[in-house]
C-alpha cells in the first residue's frame, strides 16, 4: 500500500511539474519572442532611417550641383537634363526634376508633363517652400502609373533667390520591397502607419493598405498605437487579428510622421497547451507514460533555462545603443529613477550633457560612415575617462549624457574638462571648426534629489548649460546657472 501511495505521489508530482513547467515555457517563449522583436525593431528602424536618408543625400547632392550653375544653364534643357541625372545607381528613385516658380518644369529623364501640370500647385512644392527645408511628402497616386509614391523635395536657391523646388520620387512598392528584404524570419512582417492611423505599407497583407486601424477589427491594437504616439521609444505588446494572437513592436520614425512596426504571430503549438482541454489530455497521457513525462520535464526545464538566458541577453541588448555601445534612452529613463531614489536627501548626483561640435557639417563633409566612426570614437574616449559606476547614455544623435552618482558640481566639472581635453587630444580632423580638429562642448548640472525637485529639470539644466557652451564658441565646459 505504501509502495502504491509513493507511485501515485510520484506520478502526481510529475504531472504537476510537467503542467507548471509547460506553462512557464509558454511565458518564457512569449517574452523571448517580444525581446527578439524589439531587438530586430531597433536594427530595422535605424536601417530604414539610413535608407531614407540616402535618398535625401542624393537629392541634396543634385541640389549642390545645380547651385553651381546659372538659372539659364538649368532651364536650357527641360528634359534629359544632365545636371539631374545622378540617381542612375539608385533604383528606388524614379527620377529627379525641378518645378520652377514660373510654373515650368525641368527633368533628368525624357518625361514631359501634361499641359495642365503646374508644379506650384503640387503638395511637394508648396510644403517644401513653406517649411524652407528638405521634406518627404504625404503619399499620393502617380497620375501616369497609378502607383502610390512619396516625393522628397527641397527649396532651390540661386544667388540667394528662390527659383523653385527640386524633387525626387520614391514609390511605396520600393519601400515595401526594402522592408521585406530586411525580414529574415518568414513568420514576421513589417508595416508603416501614418499619424492618422492609415496603413501605408504592409509586407504581408496588401489588402490592409490605405485602411485605418480605427476602422478594422484588430482587438487591442488602437491602444497599442496610441501608446506608441505618446512615446519616443519602442512600444511592445500583444493584440488579436481575426482571432490570431500577435506579438508586436511599434515606434515613430525620426523626421517623418510615420510609425514602423514589426509583428509575428505567437507560437500556437506551445500556447495551446495551456487550454483546459489540453490539460486533460496531458493528465491522461502522463498517468500512462510517467517515464516519458519525466524526460519531457527535463527537456522543458532545460529549454526554459536556455530561454531565460537568452532573455537576459536580449534585455541587455535592448538597453544598449548598438552603434556606440553606450546605454540608450530606454535605459536612461529607468536608471534615472533608480539613482534618484537611491540618492534622495542623501548624496548629490551630477549630469554632463555632451554634444559633438559641428557634427552635421562633419557628416556633410566626410560622409555618414565617417560620422558613425566618430560617434564610436567619442563614446570610447568618454568611457576611458569616467568611473566604472558612472553611466554613459547616447541621448540622441550626436548628444551623450553621463550620470555621475555621489558627485558635486565641482567634481563633475573636473570630469567634464578631462573628457573635453581627451577628445581634443585625439586631433581628429574637422575642417568645419576654427581649430581644424574635432571638439566637444559640455554642459554640467548637479542636484541633491528631494521631493520638491523634478528630476527632468536637473537634466534640462545640463542641456541649458550645453547650449550656453555652444553659444560661447564651443570646445568648452559650462556650468548651469542654478546650483541645487
Q: Which residue has the higher pLDDT, 3 or 459?
A: 459
Predicted confidence at residue 417, as pLDDT, reads 96
Cα separation, 464 vs 233, in Å, equals 23
Whose cell is 502504491? That residue is 4
Q: What is the mean pLDDT of the chain?
A: 80
Most confident of 3-7, 37-41, 124-128: 124-128
Instruction: Give the residue-averaged pLDDT of 395-404.
Output: 92
Reply yes or no on whether the pLDDT at 158 is more than 90: no
Cα separation, 309 vs 155, in Å, equals 52
Cα separation, 355 vs 351, in Å, equals 13
Contact between 104 and 78 (Cβ < 8 Å): yes
For helices 290-317 and 276-288, give the axis angle rounded to 10 degrees: 130
Predicted confidence at residue 334, as pLDDT, reads 84
Predicted confidence at residue 26, as pLDDT, reads 64
**pTM of the full structure:** 0.53
Predicted confidence at residue 22, as pLDDT, reads 64
Q: Where along the chain do the CATH 3.30.450.20 domains lie?
A: 69-173
216: confidence class by pLDDT, cuts 50, 70, 90: confident
Most confident of 86-100, 405-419, 469-483: 405-419
- Active-site pick, 398, 456, 464, 471: 398
Instruction: Give the residue-averaged pLDDT of 268-282.
Output: 49
Predicted confidence at residue 251, as pLDDT, reads 82
Reply yes or no on whether the pLDDT at 441 is more than 90: yes
The grid coordinates listed for 318 are: 535592448
338: confidence class by pLDDT, cuts 50, 70, 90: confident
Q: Does the domain made of 329-479 have the CATH classification 3.30.70.270?
A: yes
Reply yes or no on whether the pLDDT at 56 is more than 70: yes
CA atoms within 13 A on the CB side of 244: 12
Q: Which residue has the higher pLDDT, 463 or 143?
A: 463
Predicted confidence at residue 447, as pLDDT, reads 92
Three-state DSSP class for residue 212: strand
| Bridge partners for 296 per DSSP | none
Predicted confidence at residue 87, as pLDDT, reads 60
Predicted confidence at residue 309, as pLDDT, reads 47
Whose cell is 529549454? That residue is 303
Instruction: Give the residue-averaged pLDDT of 140-165.
Output: 85
Is residue 398 flagged as an active site residue? Answer: yes
Reply yes or no on whether the pLDDT at 269 is more than 50: no
Predicted confidence at residue 283, as pLDDT, reads 53
Q: What percent of the chain has pLDDT over 70?
A: 78
Predicted confidence at residue 403, as pLDDT, reads 95
Task: Classify 325 in phi/psi space as left (phi over 0), alpha (psi -120 to 50) or beta.
Answer: left
474: confidence class by pLDDT, cuts 50, 70, 90: very high
Reply yes or no on whether the pLDDT at 208 is more than 90: no
Predicted confidence at residue 267, as pLDDT, reads 54
Reply yes or no on whether the pLDDT at 256 is more than 70: yes
Within a 10 A sphere around the Cβ of 363, how many other Cβ atoms? 19
CB-count burial class (<10 Å; 0-12, 13-18, 19+) for 191: buried
Cα separation, 357 vs 432, in Å, equals 9
Strand segments (E) across 124-211? 135-136, 140-141, 148-158, 161-171, 188-194, 199-202
Predicted confidence at residue 262, as pLDDT, reads 83
Three-state DSSP class for residue 109: coil
Q: Lowest mean pLDDT: which of 66-70, 189-193, 351-355? A: 66-70
Q: Write down the architecture of domain 69-173 according to CATH.
A: 2-Layer Sandwich (3.30)
- What are the b/e assignments for 43-70, b being 16+ CB within 10 Å? ebbeebeebbeebbbbbbebbeebeeee
Q: Vertex 446, ends 426 and 375: CA angle to 5°?
A: 30
Q: Where along the chain do the CATH 3.30.70.270 domains lie?
A: 329-479
Reply yes or no on whether the pLDDT at 314 is more than 80: no
Q: Which residue has the higher pLDDT, 370 or 453?
A: 370
Cα separation, 273 vs 179, in Å, equals 34
Predicted confidence at residue 439, as pLDDT, reads 95
Q: Which residue has the higher pLDDT, 124 or 18?
A: 124
Predicted confidence at residue 64, as pLDDT, reads 82
DSSP letter for each residue of 373-395:
HHHHHHHHHHHTTS-TTSEEEEE
Reply yes or no on whether the pLDDT at 184 is more than 50: yes
Reply yes or no on whether the pLDDT at 182 is more than 80: no
Taking alpha carbons only, the member of 209, 218, 270, 261 closest to residue 239 is 218
Reply yes or no on whether the pLDDT at 125 is more than 70: yes
Q: Which residue has the higher pLDDT, 311 or 362?
A: 362
Amino acid at each position: 500500500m505504501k509502495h502504491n501511495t509513493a507511485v501515485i505521489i510520484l506520478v502526481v508530482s510529475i504531472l504537476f511539474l510537467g503542467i507548471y513547467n509547460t506553462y512557464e515555457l509558454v511565458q518564457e517563449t512569449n517574452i523571448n519572442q517580444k525581446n527578439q522583436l524589439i531587438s530586430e525593431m531597433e536594427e530595422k528602424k535605424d536601417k530604414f532611417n539610413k535608407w531614407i536618408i540616402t535618398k535625401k543625400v542624393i537629392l541634396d547632392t543634385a541640389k549642390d550641383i545645380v547651385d553651381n550653375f546659372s538659372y539659364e544653364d538649368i532651364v536650357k534643357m527641360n528634359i534629359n537634363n544632365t545636371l539631374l541625372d545622378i540617381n542612375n545607381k539608385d533604383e528606388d528613385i524614379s527620377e529627379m526634376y525641378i518645378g520652377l516658380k514660373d510654373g515650368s518644369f525641368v527633368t533628368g529623364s525624357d518625361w514631359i508633363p501634361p499641359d495642365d501640370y503646374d508644379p506650384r500647385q503640387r503638395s511637394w512644392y508648396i510644403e517644401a517652400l513653406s517649411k524652407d527645408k528638405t521634406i518627404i511628402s504625404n503619399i499620393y497616386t502617380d497620375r501616369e502609373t497609378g502607383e502610390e509614391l512619396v516625393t522628397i523635395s527641397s527649396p532651390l536657391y540661386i544667388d540667394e533667390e528662390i527659383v523653385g523646388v527640386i524633387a525626387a520620387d520614391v514609390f511605396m512598392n520600393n519601400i515595401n520591397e526594402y522592408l521585406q528584404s530586411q525580414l529574415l524570419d518568414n513568420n514576421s512582417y513589417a508595416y508603416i502607419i501614418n499619424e492618422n492611423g492609415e496603413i501605408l505599407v504592409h509586407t504581408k497583407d496588401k489588402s490592409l493598405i490605405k485602411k485605418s486601424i480605427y476602422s478594422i477589427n484588430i482587438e487591442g491594437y488602437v491602444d497599442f498605437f496610441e501608446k506608441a504616439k505618446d512615446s519616443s521609444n519602442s512600444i511592445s505588446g500583444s493584440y488579436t487579428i481575426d482571432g490570431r494572437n500577435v506579438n508586436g513592436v511599434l515606434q515613430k520614425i525620426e523626421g517623418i510622421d510615420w510609425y514602423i512596426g514589426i509583428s509575428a504571430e505567437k507560437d500556437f503549438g506551445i500556447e495551446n497547451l495551456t487550454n483546459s482541454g489540453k490539460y486533460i489530455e496531458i493528465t491522461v497521457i502522463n498517468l500512462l507514460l510517467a517515464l516519458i513525462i519525466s524526460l519531457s520535464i527535463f527537456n522543458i526545464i532545460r529549454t526554459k533555462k536556455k530561454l531565460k538566458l537568452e532573455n537576459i541577453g536580449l534585455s541587455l541588448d535592448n538597453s544598449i545603443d548598438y552603434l556606440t555601445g553606450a546605454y540608450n534612452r530606454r535605459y536612461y529613463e529607468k536608471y534615472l529613477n533608480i539613482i534618484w531614489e537611491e540618492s534622495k536627501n542623501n548624496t548629490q548626483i551630477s549630469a554632463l550633457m555632451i554634444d559633438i561640435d559641428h557634427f552635421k557639417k562633419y557628416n556633410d563633409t566626410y560622409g555618414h560612415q565617417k560620422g558613425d566612426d566618430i560617434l564610436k570614437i567619442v563614446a570610447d574616449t568618454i568611457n576611458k575617462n569616467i568611473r566604472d559606476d558612472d553611466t554613459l547614455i547616447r541621448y540622441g544623435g550626436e548628444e551623450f549624457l553621463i550620470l555621475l552618482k555621489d558627485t558635486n558640481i565641482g567634481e563633475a566639472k573636473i570630469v567634464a574638462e578631462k573628457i573635453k581635453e581627451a577628445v581634443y587630444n585625439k586631433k581628429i580632423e574637422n575642417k568645419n571648426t576654427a581649430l581644424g580638429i574635432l571638439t566637444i562642448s559640455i554642459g554640467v548640472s548637479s542636484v541633491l534629489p528631494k521631493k520638491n525637485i523634478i528630476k527632468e529639470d536637473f537634466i534640462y539644466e545640463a542641456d541649458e548649460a550645453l547650449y550656453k557652451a555652444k553659444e560661447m564658441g564651443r570646445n568648452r565646459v559650462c556650468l548651469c546657472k542654478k546650483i541645487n
